[in-house]
Structure 1
Amino acid sequence: MHHAVSRLRQARLARSTKPFIARGSRAERCPQCRVVPGYCLCAWRPQVPSQAGMCLIMHDVEALKPTNTGWLIADVVADTYAFGWSRIEVDPQLLALLDDPTWQPYIVFPEEFGQGREVVQQVSAAPGKRPLFVLLDATWTEARKMFRKSPYLERFPVLSLSPEQLSRYTLRRSRRSDHFCTAEVGAMCLSLAGDEAASLALDDWLDAFSGHYLAAKFQRPINEDDALHQRLLALR
């Protein structure tokens, strides 16, 4: 498997001048699912079609982190694109994607930061266009900076989500329970676009990844016959 996030990770590693050492990055891991051997979850990776696309704009080392969940979006959504973010230059391929007439980009970000910009809460792509959700994959502090300092995104509507639930993600923790990991946001966007099956599959894939990752960390057994694994198995 060589999807957009894995390719971005390899490109970022290739230009590193010193090893990137994140928490948990020293352990041997499956190159496909990023979980240590013995807890690999590749056998349950879902295959679900979706109409929407995902564009991940990732902060410098985000693709290198073993707990990054943008990777999970690329696992599930075939039309996922990933680009590194820079304040001083923009990848020409990113600009070409945003200008592609087959896509209707939406910048997914909270309404409170969209002053002076078109803010929407629903997806309504024009005929002949497919929704493309642009997600800023970073810590919350980094994402706010990226949102402010990316003028090439200002011409697109800001999609503000209003979820009722709290974040379920347990591998990295925001100080606010109403902040969601990238995969959770991606699943909400898919649901808004009418890709309900892909949305549910991504939610389950996130739960499976979190469960396997934590089980490996604490050397706990995995119940491969539970409802979660059976749902994912049916989507193979």
Structure 2
Amino acid sequence: MHETRDDSPHAVARLRAACMAHSGTLPRLDRGAARKSRCARCRLIPSHCMCALRPLARARAGLCLIMAEFEPLKPSNTGWLIADVLPDTAAFSWSRMEVDPALPALLADPQWQPYVVFPGEFAAPERVRTELLDQADDEQSGKRPLFILLDGTWSEARKIFRKSPYLNALPVLSLQPEQLSRYRLRRSTHDHHFCTSEVAALCLALAGDLHAAQTLEAYLDVFSARYLSARQSVPADGEDEAHRRLRALHHSAPPASRP
């Protein structure tokens, strides 16, 4: 019997709603783009809506997004995709002055082994890891990996890392990916800078959640293709390689991961 997907607002959607209610700020659109009506669930214009393609993936690992102030409001944000795909995703808005008490409570929850995912060159050497702690020990103790992703521009992520004391005692997972970033919606000046969804997929693969990692990668590619085709006023191609790969992963998913 397959698990039913929960279509209630996920963590990032709830954070977006809270940001809008608090500030009254409209969602940020691409610079120079005219304001268009967008689907409230997938953030694409109606002609390119991908809600029917949203997959569900189960993973032993969890994700915790700490998001810069306006990040939940950006249509191109990929932290949203993580919460779309993985139910065990938490999201918090970052503030230097105020910390949501649910965040340190999550980090202290004994079911989780938290890792701050960030380049090791910015952390004290004794905190840096390139692999997870002994997973056999974690499984025996019941602990699951919890990957903490700092979601924002590079300068915002560095600020969050430096000015969040509750992260200081946690191990820093420094990824060593061999492939270059394929994300096409926002360009970084450094090819080794990955978008948030790509980082999450790399973490999931490192934790052994391979099908979830592949599903998230394919979902990002579908989102990127639809977002760019909408920007260029070109119809979405539901038969391109990204869409075919996402469908194939759905059909090969373990039963508990199919909506």
Scaled by the length of structure 2, the TM-score of the pair is: 0.87
What amino acid sits opposite 1:27 in the alignment? K
Cα deviations across residues 173-219 of structure 1 (Å, max 9, x unaligned)? 11111100000000000000000000000000000000000011112
Distance 1:145 1:131, change over 3 A: same
The alpha carbon displacement at 1:222 in A equals: 2.5
**Alpha-carbon contact 2:183-2:195 (below 8 Å) kept:** yes
Residue identity matched to 1:114:
A
Match of 1:149 in 2: 163
Q: Out of 104, 109, 112, which is 1:100 matched to?
A: 109
Residue 4 of structure 2 corresponds to which residue in structure 1? none
- CA drift at 1:89: 1.7
1:6 has 2:20 as partner: no
Instruction: Output the CA distance in 2 between the equivalents of 1:18 and 1:71.
Output: 18
Is the Cα contact below 8 Å between 1:73 and 1:186 reproduced in 2? yes
For the Cα contact (< 8 Å) 1:57–1:134, is it kept in 2? yes
| Structure 2 CA distance for partners of 1:18 and 1:75, relative to 1, 3 Å | closer
Identity of aligned residues (%): 56
Question: Contact 1:136 / 1:143 at 8 angstroms: preserved in 2?
Answer: yes
The number of residues matched between the two structures is: 236
Q: CA deviation at 1:26?
A: 2.3
- From 118, 133, 149, the counterpart of 2:127: 118
Aligned to 1:230: 244
Task: Kindly report which structure 2 residues correspond to 1:35-184, keeping only aligned pairs within 5 A, or say none.
Answer: 35-115=44-124, 117-124=126-133, 125=135, 126=138, 127-184=141-198
Which amino acid counterpart does residue 203 of structure 2 have in structure 1?
C
RMSD: 1.5
Shift in Å, 1:27: 1.5
Of 15, 28, 31 in structure 1, the residue corresponding to residue 37 of structure 2 is 28
Distance verdict in 2 for CA 1:19–1:220, change over 3 Å: closer
> For structure 1, which runs of at least 5 residues remain unmatched after alignment?
none
SS in 2 for 1:15: helix
Structure 2 match to 1:208: 222
Unpaired stretches in structure 2, ≥5 consecutive residues: 1-6, 251-257
User: Is the 8 Å Cα contact of residues 25 and 66 (structure 1) preserved in structure 2?
Assistant: no
Displacement of 1:227 in angstroms is 3.7
